[in-house]
Amino acid sequence: MYSFFDTHTHLDYLQQFTGEPLAQLMQNAQIAGVQKILIVAVLQRDFKIIEKMTALYPQQLYYGLGLHPLYIKEHQAQDLDLLEQALATRSPNCTAVAEIGLERAVPELLTDELWRKQCDFFEAQLHLAKKHDLPVNMHSRKSHDQLFSFLKRIEVPKRGAVHGFAGSYDQAKRFVDLGYSIGVGGTITYERANKTRQTIAKLPLDALLLETDSPDMPVFGFQGQPNRPERVQQVFKVLCELRRETPEMIAETIWQNSLRKFA
């Protein structure tokens, strides 16, 4: 049985959504070989909940604190101060500034004012990652070129990952050349996602991470259901079909890469 690290989840939201005990969610994941899970925040009010969840399973759970661009209307300037305080007093299991990034697929978040606010919050959080020597785990929807220009300008020593990547090979390769990993999730389980599948097939294996984005980004065959960490197995299976390496090599390389990044 292979060991998997689900490097991007909202396990707190999955638990709220399904009402299942955390112990049950963890058991389901472990049966599928998911040994480690990163939980990422989207709002400042999530921070304490995620910290408490992680403390219950310190060998399996890690967490990232950050302010997600989809909620840019709700974020206040003081949330950045509270994020800084939380990072300054973080536990060893806080291994990322996440989920941060840029969102250009929602028209109402692209007014001049809100786009500027997105950029300001993203930049501030990149500087926090730099200051606290943490990697970042990033949301990028229709914003790869803009995201890249920030990462090129602001060097985050620990780098990090572009999560749930759905873009061209050239866009992915630019991130990889900067030292960032590419999060591979449910998108590749859909045959129509040809561009993303071809991209993931060609990238260097040691640049890839596995993720579910639970409860979002459902894998093929489970549409309309909340996504779960154990479905990393399905993503892995499709990845093995797309790649030339053996399943053993794919699993081991991605496991080691994930540990280096987020454990």
Domain count, the chain: 1
The answer to whether 84 is a known ligand-binding residue is: no
Residue pair 24/9 in contact (Cβ under 8 Å)? The answer is no
Q: How confident is the model at residue 44 (pLDDT cuts 50, 70, 90)?
A: very high
Establish whether 163 is an annotated binding residue: yes
- pLDDT score recorded for residue 96: 98
Q: What is the pLDDT of residue 220?
A: 96
CA–chain centroid gap for 38, Å, is 8
112 is in an annotated binding site: no
Ligand-binding site membership of 75 (annotated) = no
Mean pLDDT of 6-23: 97
Alpha-carbon gap, residue 104 to 107, rounded angstroms: 7
pLDDT in tens, 63-109: 999 999 999 999 999 999 999 999 999 999 999 999 999 999 999 99
Please report, as a single letter, which amino acid is at residue 52: K
**Residue-number span of the structural domain to which 163 is assigned:** 4-262
* Token pair recorded at residue 195: 């561009």
Q: What is the pLDDT of residue 224?
A: 95
Residue 144 annotated as lining a ligand binding site: no
CATH number for 164: 3.20.20.140
Q: What's the chain's average pLDDT?
A: 97
68 is in an annotated binding site: no
pLDDT category, 147, cuts 50, 70, 90? very high
For residue 188, the number of C-alpha atoms closer than 13 Å in the C-beta half-sphere is 33
Helix-helix angle 144-153:169-177, to 10 degrees: 10
In angstroms and rounded to an integer, the radius of gyration of the C-alpha atoms of the chain is 17
* Structure confidence at residue 25 (pLDDT): 98
